Chains A and B, each alone.
Chain A
Amino acid sequence: MALQPVIHVDAIRKAYGRTVAVDGVSFGVQAGEIFGLIGPNGAGKTTTMECVEGLRTADRGTISVLGLNPIREVYALQERIGVQLQAAQLQKRIKVREAVGLWASLYRKPVDGDRLIDQLGLSDKRNAWFMTLSGGQKQRLFIALALINDPEVVFLDELTTGLDPQARRAIWDLVRGIRQRGKTVFLTTHLMEEAERLCDRVAIIDHGRIIDIGSPAELVRRHCPERSVIVVTEDSAAADRFRAIPQVESVSSQGLAFTIRGRGDDLVTHVIHCLAEHRIRVTDFRTELPTLEDVFLRLTGHQIRD
């Protein structure tokens, strides 16, 4: 079966007054993948996502989601997608069970709300008011609401912003679970670690333009091919041995720790060979791979958290 993109975005542009939020953005999301739009705050992630959801109208360009036009066929689309919005709230005194029940009543083919509450770990919060939930519980409720109509595509906008690391990890597991049920996930995040751990493919966006698209590993290989190996040894001849390794570009030392820099996938193998061949006794050995964070820095010239 040929891969048919579930979401197809072609050269959209959106301006608010004289500020251009999104400028010529194009990408496709395949069925069954977790696709991430990553970039700093204000890069145009939410605007792009809300255009795809049919909540905003792009000034130019075309969008199709599940073969539907998100503006003209928004009602048909809403039955088939699930949406979690950035910084949304519910009525302070609405109960978890009531919110899920209300949402279930809005769709033609809802799933069992009670089971969904259980699956998202909210069983003992069933009768709690929205205002009493923790940040992680609120986000889990919003995921439940996004899944109530058994959607084919789920949109998650800055899902884990403001959560502590533990709650964040729990949410990541839930998102992987959504993919396992055969659904497509389109998310935005400004957390590179989240994108790296969760996404099959990411699009890096900055100042309203897409800079590159690919799997996290692909992007790292393409833009940051350098590797570092850190070896701690008391062997005084080690530095010269390391410099002789093919692919090595520099060796620096700090006390007993040597940092060997080079590029290419074989660097680590070469270093291990060198250590074995010369019987160099090491007390520590670790590799440092560039991350999406490094890719972002290289591509845009600035940190994502700026």
Chain B
Amino acid sequence: MLRGLWKLTWLEVKIFVREPLGLFGTIGLPVLVYFGLGRLIGPRMGRVPPDVPRFVSVDLPIFSSILIATSAVLSLVAIIAIYREGGILRRLRATPLRPHTILTAHVTVKLMFTAVTMIAMVLAGRRYFPVPASVPLLSFTVALLFSTLSILSLGFLVASVVPTARFAQPIGTLVLYPMLGLSGLFVPLESLPPLLRGVARALPLTYAVSLLRGIWRGEGWFAHIGDVAILTLMFFALMTAAAKVFRWE
């Protein structure tokens, strides 16, 4: 079923690394920005007193995580569009490779690079944004994986229908960034107008933020079983829809 998956995944990693600018943009730039910001505001904050605003102590890490996941999804949308436009997908289609193998390979590559970026950021920013000992890092990583997958599936749906590469980036941005605004990260869900609240409830990011926040605070998985269930459900629904409308050329 998944013949060629490992080989294709490894190849895509190598191909990605061969493009220095892309590699720098994915890993180097976020780490640098994070580090730079840390130097700017870190010393002023001192040793992170217990009464720092919620946005800095809890939501900043969540915000950065989701931002990186989102940019991974955007680049995935772009890659699929470029592969489609260049006829690469067409050529792959005429082999025993199945579409889900190609997609799985690209998701794996993106997840790997997202993980590398996150780890690099945590290490580079250690001095300025120390992760509190109370945060269950492993659980948080798993929660982040869940969240990334559900955002990825939305990205796929976009990638499956966007006709050209030049159109992919703006459409992806148009879908993903407003979603960020409605996710509850900046404005609490309760204070949104009813219509927007309804839209927010239909988007995966809202549940991802709720899950990530809870896990970061140490609330445990059981308290967020609803978020996990909805994220899983959305993932499968979106992937099924994407597979249905997927276009090779």
B67 within 8 A of A: no
CB within 8 Å of B: which A76-112 residues:
78-79, 83, 85, 87-94, 98, 101-103, 105-107
Residue A55 CB within 8 A of the other chain: yes
Contact with B along A176-213 (1 / 0, CB 8 A): 00000000000000000000000000000000000000
Residue on A with the closest CB to B14?
A: A98
Q: Which residues of B contact A83 (CB under 8 A)?
A: 94
In the complex, which residues of chain A have a beta carbon less than 8 angstroms from the beta carbon of B4? 102, 105-106
Say whether B18 contacts A85, CB under 8 Å.
no
Q: Are A93's CB and B91's CB within 8 A?
A: no
In the complex, how many angstroms separate the beta carbon of B81 from the nearest chain A beta carbon?
14
Q: Does A75 contact B (CB under 8 A)?
A: yes
Interface size counted on chain B using CB atoms at 8 A: 21
Complex Cα–Cα for A178 and B163 (A): 37
Contact A105 B95 (CB under 8 A): no
* CA distance in complex: A88, B83 (Å): 10
Q: Tell yes or no: A150 within 8 A of B by CB.
A: no
Whether the Cβ atoms of B86 and A89 lie closer than 8 Å is yes
Docked-complex contact A105 and B7, CB < 8 angstroms: yes
0/1 string, B79-92, CB within 8 A of A gives 1: 00001001110110
Tell me which residues across on chain B come within 8 A of A89, comparing CB atoms.
86-88, 91
Enumerate chain B residues within 8 angstroms of A93, measured Cβ to Cβ. Answer: 15, 18-19
CB closest residue in chain B, given A50: B94
A53 at the A/B interface (Cβ < 8 Å)? yes
A103 and B95 CA atoms in complex are apart in Å by 8
Contact with A along B1-24 (1 / 0, CB 8 A): 001100110011011001100000
A87 contacts B11, C-beta separation under 8 Å: no
Task: Give Cα A103–Cα B92 distance, bound, in whole angstroms.
Answer: 9
Q: In whole angstroms, what is the CA distance A79 to B96 when docked?
A: 7
- Are B91 and A88 closer than 8 Å at their CB atoms? yes
Q: Is the CB of A102 within 8 A of B8?
A: yes
A170 CB to closest chain B CB, in angstroms?
22
Closest-CB distance, A302 to chain B (whole angstroms): 29
Using known A-B contacts A88-B88, A105-B3, determine if residue A55 contacts B15 with beta carbons closer than 8 Å: no
Closest Cβ of chain A: how far from B193's Cβ, in Å? 42
State the CA gap A102–B105 with chains docked (Å).
13
Please judge, given known A-B contacts A98-B11, A101-B7, A102-B8, whether A88 and B96 are in contact too, CB under 8 Å.
no
The closest CB in chain A to the CB of B101 belongs to A106
Tell me how far the C-beta of B232 lies from the nearest C-beta in chain A, rounded to whole angstroms.
30
Given contacts A102-B4, A102-B8, A102-B11, contact A107 B87 (CB under 8 A): no
The 6 closest A-B pairs by CB, nearest first: A88-B91, A89-B86, A93-B18, A83-B94, A88-B87, A105-B7
Enumerate chain A interface residues (CB-CB to B < 8 A).
Answer: 53, 55, 75, 78-79, 83, 85, 87-94, 98, 101-103, 105-107, 129
Question: Can you add 15 more A-B contacts, CB < 8 Å, to A85-B90, A88-B88, A91-B11?
Answer: A78-B95, A85-B94, A87-B87, A89-B86, A89-B88, A91-B83, A98-B14, A102-B11, A105-B3, A105-B4, A105-B7, A106-B3, A106-B96, A107-B96, A129-B18
